[in-house]
Amino acid sequence: MGIDMGCLPDEKELICQLKTGDATAFREIYDRYWKQQYDLAFYKLGSKEAAEEITQEVFVTLWLQKNELDPQRPVAAWLYGVSRNLILKTFRKQAIHQRYLQQAELPEITYNTSEQLAFNELHAIVHQQINQLPDKCREVFTLSRVNGLNTQQIAETLNISPKTVNNHLVKAIRIMRGNLKDYIMIMIILSVRP
């Protein structure tokens, strides 16, 4: 991956034109050196997105610092220096990010024993209430709420109409809500615990 550091015959004129703000001269330099800069960044970073970002930054820097260019020096060397500095900056950011991730303390998840016992008890009560539903209601409720099937899938599985599925679901939910009304507030509190 060599970069030709010699000035092209018309490059001095392009740099002079670029220094005056000539967008055509900028475009010519961009077209000549874009692939070279992209290939260098991709080779060093191994990421298409990062290489594109670095290459874009190189040419934005060229435009912003066009007045500092020396027409006697090859623009390829200047572009290479900018690209190298941006790549090193990217490596430093990645290293800092990795160190941060390694040092970051992950919060330890702990559950209060009494909360866990209450949750387990509620879980058992809900399953007990499901088991006490009438057979078809229990079957439809389980397929819907436990297995995640939609109304049409349940209707096809049980060979009943979707309207019948809805009727069984409404009945099951009404029964469950009535039987679990004393536990609903506890369920809400436990479901929003930090």
- Give the chain's domains with CATH numbers: 11-103 (1.10.1740.10), 113-191 (1.10.10.10)
Q: How many alpha carbons fall within 13 Å on the CB side of residue 19?
A: 13
Residue 122 pLDDT > 90: no
> How many C-beta neighbours within 10 Å does residue 62 have?
21
- Give per-residue pLDDT as tens, 46-91: 889 888 999 999 999 999 988 888 888 889 889 999 999 998 888 8
**Mean pLDDT for all residues in the chain:** 81
Residue 154 pLDDT > 80: yes
Under the banding of pLDDT at 50, 70 and 90, the label for residue 1 is very low
| Contacts for 37 with CB less than 8 Å, ≥ 6 apart | 54, 55, 58, 59, 79, 83
Residue 142 pLDDT > 90: no
E strands in the chain: none
Chain CA centroid to CA 55, Å:
23
Q: What is the pLDDT of residue 71?
A: 87
Q: What is the pLDDT of residue 9?
A: 47
Q: What is the pLDDT of residue 192?
A: 56
Q: What is the pLDDT of residue 5?
A: 42
Q: What is the pLDDT of residue 161?
A: 93
Separation CA 146–CA 123 (nearest Å): 13
Q: What is the pLDDT of residue 111?
A: 58
Tell me the average pLDDT across 11-39. 90
Tell me the average pLDDT across 22-51. 90
Q: Are 36 and 3 in contact (CB under 8 A)?
A: yes
Top pLDDT among 122 and 30 is at 30
Handedness of CA 177, 178, 183, 186 (dihedral sign): positive
pTM for the complete prediction?
0.48
Rg from Cα positions in the chain:
34
Tell me the average pLDDT across 163-174. 90
- Percent share of the chain, pLDDT over 90: 25
Residue 93 pLDDT > 90: no
